[in-house]
Amino acid sequence: MTAPVIPTAGPYLLANARLHRSLTPDLKATFDADGFALADIAVADGKISAIAAREQPLPTHAIDLTGRIVLPAFIDCHTHIDKGHIWTRKRNPDGSFMGALNATGEDRAARWNATDVAQRMEFSLRCAYAHGTKAIRTHLDSVAPQETISWPVFEQMRERWRGRIELQAACLFGIESARDFVWLEMLAKRVAAAKGVLGTVTYMVPDLDELLDRMFGHAIALGLDLDFHADETDDVAAISLKKIAEAALRHKFQGRILVGHCCSLARQPDRDVLDTLDKVARARLAVVSLPMCNLYLQDRRHDGTTPRWRGVTLLHEMKARGIPVAVASDNTRDPFYAYGDLDMLEVYRMATRILHFDHPVADWPQTIAATPADIMRLQGAGTLAAGGPADLVIFRGRSWTELLSRPESERVVVRDGRTIERVIPDYSELDALMV
The residues assigned a catalytic role are 232
Q: How far is CA 240 from the centre of its chain?
A: 21
* Measured distance CA(173)–CA(112) in Å, rounded: 16
My answer on whether omega of the bond before 360 falls inside 30° of 0, hence cis, is yes
Yes or no: say if 323 and 280 are a contact pair by the CB < 8 Å rule.
Answer: yes
Nearer to Zn ion, 40 or 330 (CB): 330
- In the complex, minimum distance from the CB of residue 297 to Zn ion, in angstroms, rounded to a whole number: 11
* Measured distance CA(368)–CA(386) in Å, rounded: 20
- For Zn ion, which residue has the nearest CB? 330
Query: What residues between 12 and 71 interact with Zn ion by CB under 5 A?
Result: none
Q: Which residues neighbour 305 within 8 Å (Cβ) at sequence distance 6 or greater?
A: none
Nearer to Zn ion, 330 or 408 (CB): 330
- In the complex, minimum distance from the CB of residue 152 to Zn ion, in angstroms, rounded to a whole number: 22
Count residues near Zn ion (CB under 5 A): 1
- In the complex, minimum distance from the CB of residue 208 to Zn ion, in angstroms, rounded to a whole number: 19
Q: Which stretch binds Zn ion (CB under 5 A): 173-181, 237-245, 323-331, 386-394?
A: 323-331
Could you tell me which of 155, 69, 166 has the C-alpha nearest to residue 395?
A: 69
Residue 186 Cα distances to 148, 193, 314, angstroms: 11, 11, 36
- In the complex, minimum distance from the CB of residue 172 to Zn ion, in angstroms, rounded to a whole number: 8
Nearer to Zn ion, 83 or 256 (CB): 83
Q: State which amino acid sits at residue 360.
A: P
Nearer to Zn ion, 330 or 334 (CB): 330
Q: Which stretch binds Zn ion (CB under 5 A): 103-111, 115-123, 274-282, 326-334?
A: 326-334
Pairing of strands 418-419, 412-415: antiparallel
Q: Which stretch binds Zn ion (CB under 5 A): 14-22, 62-70, 330-338, 388-396?
A: 330-338
Sign of CA dihedral 119, 122, 127, 130: negative
Q: Which stretch binds Zn ion (CB under 5 A): 31-39, 44-52, 325-333, 422-430?
A: 325-333
- In the complex, minimum distance from the CB of residue 294 to Zn ion, in angstroms, rounded to a whole number: 10
Nearer to Zn ion, 140 or 187 (CB): 140
The single-letter DSSP state of residue 197 is: B
Q: Enumerate binding residues for Zn ion (CB under 5 A).
A: 330
